Amino acid sequence: MGRDAQAQTTGRRELSFAVIGAGMSGILSTIKLREHGYSNVTIYEKADGLGGTWRENTYPGVACDVPSALYSYSFAPNAEWTHRFSSGAEILTYLEGVAASNAVPGSVRFGEEVVRCDFVDGRWHLETSLGAHDVVDVVIAATGVLHHPYIPDIDGLDSFAGRTVHTARWDETVPIDGQRVGIVGTGSSAIQMVAAVADRVALLHVFQRTAQWVMPQENPAYTDGERQAFRDDPTVMHALHEDISEMFANGFSNAVVDAESEGMRMIEAACLANLEDSVTNAELRERLRPDYRAACKRLVVSPDFYRAIQHPNAELVTDAIECVEPEGVRTANGRVHALDVLVLATGFRVDRFMRPMEVVGPTGARLSEIWADRPTAYKSISIPGIPNFFMLNGPNGPIGNFSLIEVAELQFAFILKLLERLRSGGCARISATAEATEAFEATRVEAAKGTVWATGCRSWYLDDRGVPAAWPWTFQRFREVMAEPDIGDFDLKG
């Protein structure tokens, strides 16, 4: 019996799924789909392991500046976190553990990238990098945001005779100890790495194009007693998750969306005091002092960057990079910084999302054309004209200042409600309407102008027009919007 006929006789449709990406949100999707009775789920992962961002980012010092109790699935609290903020390796172990205990790995096709999705006769036809084909009812794009490394266009970059490596493609064979290391950039990745390697290298040259505000943040270890209490009583962990979630939302996430808020002033004061109190040399302090508002760029959190940059091995280089030569980096003042290792901590192409995968909707509309100017989506989740295709952490969503796990969980709960419409036979296709998407986007863009991200700095938050490509409202509002789909905003066909 065909699927449509099945729906007509039983009223219910068995749906099959392709989840693209086996990172944090792909693991989440698979677990949640199964929990809701969807058993036909295949995960496509182009790499050979789980964990997404935390598999890719293994540079020295990699950690998460969102508290671990919050950067955890709500359904899998972890009593074993060693510190308030965890290392990348610890988070990867956690994700692998959650995936294993929910039998996720058996459903993953590793080393297979989905290169194309065509919606034909009501179903998605997938083609993979291995030339394989699959046909499913629903695609979940769990492909991440900070995924495609940005390689700067620096003259002579390929001519460097030493090792060149991007932080997000770290290679364990890159030597650090006793080496002359250059790090390009002063974003979160660079700052974490500087603090981790300053006392291991022979010398460390940090090429700073723009100074950063740095929020000091201690990272205490959980005691054995605390961990035992988490193990003994799950409500203790739950309470901690709730407390930190509220503290994080009120103290930080909600402050940055209102450039004039009291919270913003407190963040600015803390960063300023950190600079004044931590950097003793007045000349260095001035070179580290940003000329834009704190948190305009994604705020850097570090208890020890200022200590590290003042280490005798370290030098802050503020002359512009002119080119890279076989020996090292030449700066505009003519100086050649001789190096063994050149680290590009230069961030990501954040407008790519699941591209270069091509997605072709039922009328022949192509994602590459729909997103030719810039990526947009209805509430980050659905694209008009691309039915039965949903994104987690898609365009213009809450990024940077929240726990992306919490965000993905809320988004997936919303998607599950839409899926129920498909499963119940209420409709065969569902995607946001163009009108609702345009209206959402217009309101979002207007609100984004009042955020601290729009107060005058260069950052990856800004799209090609200089508009912050992010959720510009409070986290509370995000929760409310994700609580229940406004079904009038969707095209329900068939």
Nearer to ligand NAP, 180 or 297 (CB): 297
Distance CA 199, CA 309 (A): 10
Nearer to ligand NAP, 269 or 320 (CB): 320
CA 392: distance to chain centroid?
10
Binding of ligand NAP at residue 162 (CB under 6 A)? no
Nearer to ligand NAP, 188 or 437 (CB): 188
CB of 265 to ligand NAP, least distance (A): 22
Cis peptide, bond prior to residue 398, ω within 30 of zero: no
Binding of ligand NAP at residue 303 (CB under 6 A)? no
Alpha helix (H) residue ranges in 139-185 = none
Binding of ligand NAP at residue 347 (CB under 6 A)? yes
Distance CA 228, CA 484 (A): 37
Q: Out of 28, 41, 146, 448, name the contact with ligand NAP by CB under 6 A.
A: 146
CB of 207 to ligand NAP, least distance (A): 6
Binding of ligand NAP at residue 187 (CB under 6 A)? yes
Q: Which of residues 311-330 bind ligand NAP (CB under 6 A)?
A: 321
CB of 185 to ligand NAP, least distance (A): 3
Residue 227 burial by CB count (10 A; 0-12/13-18/19+): exposed, middle or buried? Answer: middle
CB of 59 to ligand NAP, least distance (A): 9
Binding of ligand NAP at residue 189 (CB under 6 A)? yes
Q: What are the DSSP calls for 41-68, one per residue?
A: EEEEESSSSS-THHHH---TT-B-SS-T
Nearer to ligand NAP, 254 or 346 (CB): 346
Within 13 Å, how many C-alpha atoms sit on residue 151's CB side?
Answer: 9
Binding of ligand NAP at residue 345 (CB under 6 A)? yes
Q: Out of 152, 216, 425, 426, name the contact with ligand NAP by CB under 6 A.
A: 152
CB of 299 to ligand NAP, least distance (A): 8
Binding of ligand NAP at residue 182 (CB under 6 A)? no
Residue 425 burial by CB count (10 A; 0-12/13-18/19+): exposed, middle or buried? Answer: middle
Distance CA 72, CA 91 (A): 9
Binding of ligand NAP at residue 252 (CB under 6 A)? no
Distance CA 411, CA 476 (A): 14
Q: Which of 208, 194, 388 is nearest to 302 (CA)?
A: 194
Q: Which of residues 366-395 bind ligand NAP (CB under 6 A)?
A: none
Find the Cα–Cα–Cα–Cα dihedral 250, 255, 260, 263, rounded to 10°: 60
Distance CA 123, CA 273 (A): 57
Q: DSSP class of residue 136?
A: E
Nearer to ligand NAP, 151 or 413 (CB): 151
Nearer to ligand NAP, 346 or 431 (CB): 346
CB of 297 to ligand NAP, least distance (A): 6
Distance CA 382, CA 411 (A): 11
Instruction: Please give the size of the binding site for ligand NAP, defined by CB under 6 A.
Output: 28
Distance CA 299, CA 415 (A): 30
Q: Out of 25, 29, 143, 186, name the contact with ligand NAP by CB under 6 A.
A: 186
Q: Which stretch binds ligand NAP (CB under 6 A): 90-98, 133-141, 193-201, 344-352?
A: 344-352
The SS3 of residue 395 is: coil
Q: Which stretch binds ligand NAP (CB under 6 A): 106-114, 119-127, 260-268, 342-350?
A: 342-350
CB of 482 to ligand NAP, least distance (A): 21
CA 13: distance to chain centroid?
33
Nearer to ligand NAP, 196 or 436 (CB): 196
Backbone angles phi, psi at 193, to 5 degrees: -70, -40
CB of 403 to ligand NAP, least distance (A): 9
Binding of ligand NAP at residue 170 (CB under 6 A)? no
Nearer to ligand NAP, 117 or 275 (CB): 275
Q: Which of residues 34-73 bind ligand NAP (CB under 6 A)?
A: 63-66
Q: Which of residues 426-465 bind ligand NAP (CB under 6 A)?
A: 458, 460
Over the window 1 to 40, marking each residue x when it contacts ligand NAP by CB under 6 A and - when it does not, the resulting string is ----------------------------------------
Residue 264, token pair as written in the block: 């913003």
Binding of ligand NAP at residue 209 (CB under 6 A)? yes
Distance CA 205, CA 27 (A): 38
Task: Report angle CA 207, 63, 406 to the nearest 5 degrees.
Answer: 120
Q: In what helix (H) or strand (E) does residue 28 lie, and over which residues does it extend? A: helix 24-35
Please, which contacts does 110-115 make with residues 24 or more away whose CB atoms are closer than 8 Å?
110/22, 110/45, 110/47, 110/48, 110/49, 111/45, 111/46, 111/47, 111/48, 112/44, 112/45, 112/46, 113/44, 113/46, 113/357, 114/18, 114/20, 114/44, 114/357, 115/356, 115/357, 115/358
CB of 346 to ligand NAP, least distance (A): 4
Q: Which stretch binds ligand NAP (CB under 6 A): 22-30, 42-50, 91-99, 204-212?
A: 204-212
CB of 58 to ligand NAP, least distance (A): 12
Which residues sit at the interface with ligand NAP, rule CB under 6 A? 63-66, 146, 152, 154, 167, 184-190, 192, 207, 209-210, 298, 321, 345-348, 400, 458, 460
